[in-house]
Structure 1
């Protein structure tokens, strides 16, 4: 199955306060996600239909410091909260990982209602080192349980992330994607700079200034 935009990760200092600011700025509500065991992080989900915005914070600094992924997230958030990573989904993760020589990691988290959702990912350490490049995910959930399908009281009905704007080397990004056609615009400093979301009221652009939460 073709690669598609699954979600954009927004690193924040405080989940609840960042969620309030995202709702004030964009009219987008969020719902509790869960903890990421081993990473020292937790998230809130802004469901957008077939995709979502992930608000992510470090909630256990010691646990995060002991893990390469957790410490990578912590490093980015300390530097500057804001749009941090972008993720592509497909149902052929093994082939993508083999093409790029990436390892695959299986993870899960538990929702507030006790439901466990699982996924496999590849390329997350590479994306943390170079956020111009996306990482890849394959979900082990029924389509209706995808995080983007969660219910939230948005001001307007979201219809998915329709494009991202990324500061990247065109050749490097094309090679990473295997030439797959994706709604990616190039521009700005290295990393993901803008997520454009379609809604029933028209398109909105999600970008910095981020919901930076002062300690």
Structure 2
């Protein structure tokens, strides 16, 4: 598996996007709507084929028939970095190692098509700090995003059982940009920007 993108959730998309823009000093780009989950997003391209996603419940969309991904049904409070997403060229094989990541759901948004593993209740293990798993069926979104001279330096996954999560992932994931620390649950992204090193958390 490879690191694909990171997600900042908010009670509204405007708040989530503003949090990213304020932290990094660069403008978000348009995203779209996810009809299956009743959410919408905006994106920000990073170097090395990564991107940041701002995501929230779409108030204009009907309530979905299933729990929303990223545990958004239970999201409250200020916008924050909530999820990291890893891609696989064979999602079914990845799920044979990490079945707790959920069940495959096929999704389409404009010219993008992908399959995402989503738990039945929408929430991932380890207080949602287990990576979400994705397999792209279309070209990756990063190829159409305008680059903003931002690059992920380090993603720190913090959890009381962070080392157990790391051991669980080691057979299928190894990226020096992702580190694990014991502590209160959370994510911290160190990002190089045109304005210097900035942080998302």
TM-score by length of 1: 0.75
Name the SS of the counterpart of 1:166 in structure 2.
strand
> Are 1:158 and 2:150 matched, yes or no?
yes
Decide whether the 8 Å contact of 2:70 with 2:128 is kept in 1: no
* Aligned residue among 24, 32, 41 for 2:39: 41
In the other structure, the counterpart of 1:58 is: 57
Name the SS of the counterpart of 2:36 in structure 1.
coil
In the other structure, the counterpart of 1:69 is: 68
Q: CA deviation at 1:123?
A: 4.7
> Are 1:194 and 2:192 matched, yes or no?
no
Per-residue CA distance 1:155-212 (angstroms, 9 max, x = gap): xx123x3431112321233214535322322234224x211224466543222xxxxx
TM-score by length of 2: 0.80
In the other structure, the counterpart of 1:104 is: 104
| Distance across 2 between alignment mates of 1:62 and 1:150 | 26
Decide whether the 8 Å contact of 2:158 with 2:185 is kept in 1: yes
The count of residues paired between Structure 1 and Structure 2 equals 192
Aligned-residue CA RMSD (Å): 2.7
> Are 1:122 and 2:117 matched, yes or no?
yes
* Aligned residue among 82, 85, 109 for 1:84: 82
Name the SS of the counterpart of 1:13 in structure 2.
coil
In the other structure, the counterpart of 2:135 is: 138
Q: CA deviation at 1:128?
A: 6.8
| Distance across 1 between alignment mates of 2:69 and 2:158 | 24
Q: CA deviation at 1:118?
A: 0.7
Structure 2 residue runs without a partner (length 5+)? none
